[in-house]
Amino acid sequence: MTKSSATKKEDVLREFRVREILDATCRVVARNGFQGATVERVAEEAEIAKGTVYLYFQNKDELFTAAVEQGIQNFTGQVRTQVTEALTPIEKLQRLIEVSLELSDTYRDFFKTLLLERNFLAASPNHPEAAHMLDLYLAHIHFIEEIIQDGVRVGVFRPHNVEASAFVLNEAIRGCFQQRALGLTARPVSEDASILLDLFFNGVLNQHQNHEEPVS
């Protein structure tokens, strides 16, 4: 019992250290990009020695993979939780966009490189880990897809290629992240969210003048 408790305490400590290092990794990558992020600098940022990093991670690749994965899971997990609370598909999508954009502020460091430098999704030379990353990404899109599908089922959304629209919506949100990360917009998050929602719901066509000549 005492022993089990002791083990647990060690585990907690270990987990805490792991988190600390992963957070430091995110900060360093956000500052220098994947390219310029060395284990030494991560250690410095975490205020530990380089060797210590290797007590918690096998190698550099595992460290960076874990950092990205933790970030994705944190993000999608929180979105999922908050969105699920909403009732109707429309409310859910509203929530989805709002929460996503809000979180982009919280996880600024993480997104700055995850989204701008997303090579982790591409062919990582000899790492099947990348495939798992892709799975996480696809799972999130699938989550969005189901919300929209629900909307179609109950009739608030018109029948259309749901797979595609889920994808487009996700890309649009990602695009907003990017604009923010690059400092290209000063719009408040809520405004971005409502613009996005409006576009996604209504499109850009002038419905009244749909097939007609413009008024001259």
Partner DNA sequence: CCATAATGACTGTACAGTCAGTCACATGAC
Partner DNA sequence: GTCATGTGACTGACTGTACAGTCATTATGG
* Chosen residue from 8, 50, 153, 187 binding DNA by CB under 7 A: 50
* Chosen residue from 7, 15, 49, 105 binding DNA by CB under 7 A: 49
For residues 196 and 45, give the distance between their C-alpha atoms in angstroms, rounded to a whole number: 37
Stretch that binds DNA, among 31-39, 65-73, 149-157, 178-186 (CB under 7 A): 31-39
For residues 144 and 160, give the distance between their C-alpha atoms in angstroms, rounded to a whole number: 15
* Chosen residue from 17, 31, 108, 118 binding DNA by CB under 7 A: 17
For residues 86 and 113, give the distance between their C-alpha atoms in angstroms, rounded to a whole number: 30
Which own/partner pairs from 31-39 qualify as long-range (CB within 8 Å, at least 24 positions apart)?
33/113, 33/117, 34/64, 34/113, 34/117, 34/119, 37/64, 39/63
Residue 19 CB, shortest distance to a second copy, in Å, is 25
For residues 174 and 170, give the distance between their C-alpha atoms in angstroms, rounded to a whole number: 6
* Chosen residue from 7, 12, 15, 38 binding DNA by CB under 7 A: 38
Applying CB under 8 A, which residues contact a second copy? 31-36, 112-113, 116-119, 121-125, 134, 138, 148, 151, 154-158, 160-161, 164-165, 167-168, 170-172, 174-175, 179, 181-182, 184, 192, 195-196, 198-207, 209-212, 214-215
